[in-house]
Amino acid sequence: MTNQAPPALLPHLWKSALAAGLLAIILGALVLWRPAAAIFVTAIFFGAYLLVTGISQLVLAFSVRSSFGGRALLFISGAASLILAILCFVNFQNSIDLLAIWIGVGFIFRGVSTVMSSISDPSLPGRIWEIVIGVISVIAGIVMFAAPMEGLVAVTQVTGVILIVIGVFEIVAAWGIRKATTGATPPSIESIP
C-alpha cells in the first residue's frame, strides 16, 4: 500500500526556497557593491581554513598507521598550512595574496590537465572546445599571479552575478512549488504594491 499524500512540510518548502532566493540576490548585490569587503571576508575564512586543515593534518601525521613517507607528507603539508595560516593572520594582505595564488594554481593545474588530456585523446567529443577552455584557464591562472587583487575582484564580481541569477531562479522555483503544493496562483506583478 503506497501513501500518496505529500510530506507534511512540503507545502512550506516554497517559503525556504523564496528566502534562499532573496538571500542569494541580496548577497550577490552586496558582493557586486563591495567586492573588496567580500574579498577581505573570504581571505579571513581562507586563513581559518588553512589553520584547521594544518592542525588536522598534523594530528593525522602522528596518529595514522601509514608508511613513513605518507606521514611525512601529512606533517609537511600540515606544517606548511599552519605557517601560511599564521602569515594570513599576521597581515591580511598576505591572506589575499595567498588566496589569489591558490586560485591561480588551481586554474593553471586545471587548464594544463584539460589541454593535455584533450590533446592525447583525439576521439574526445568537443576536443577543440576543451583545449580552448584549458588555455583560457591557464591564462586566468597567470592573471591571478600577475594581478592578484584585480583577479580576485573579477572572480568576486562574477560570483556576485551568479548569486543574483541563482536567486532569481530560486524565487521562480518557490512560486512554482507554492502553486504545485497549494493550488494557489503566484501573485502577479500588478498585485505587488
Q: Is the pTM of this model over 0.85?
A: no
- Please tell me which of 64-68, 95-99, 123-127, 165-169 the model is most confident about, judged by mean pLDDT: 165-169
- Tell the residue number behind the cell numbers 581562507, with chain if given: 46
> Looking at residue 161, what is its pLDDT?
93
Neighbours of 62 (CB within 10 A): 10
Neighbours of 35 (CB within 10 A): 19
C-alpha cell at 34: 563591495
Q: CB–CB of 152/39 below 8 Å?
A: yes
Q: What is the pLDDT of residues 43-72, one digit of tens each?
A: 888 888 889 988 988 888 888 777 888 888
Integer Cα distance of 100 and 150 in angstroms: 10
Q: What is the pLDDT of residues 141-189, one digit of tens each?
A: 999 889 888 888 888 898 889 989 999 999 998 888 888 877 655 555 5
Amino acid code (one letter) for 15: K
**Domains in the chain: boundaries:** 13-183
* Distance between start and end Cα atoms, the chain: 47
C-alpha cell at 189: 506583478
What share of the chain in percent tops pLDDT 70?
A: 88
Which among 88, 102, 91, 106 has a CA at the least distance from the CA of 47? 88
- Tell the residue number behind the cell numbers 573579477, with chain if given: 154
Amino acid code (one letter) for 29: A
> Looking at residue 16, what is its pLDDT?
84
Please return the burial class of 106, using the count of CB atoms within 10 Å of its CB with bins 0-12, 13-18 and 19+.
middle
Integer Cα distance of 69 and 122 in angstroms: 37
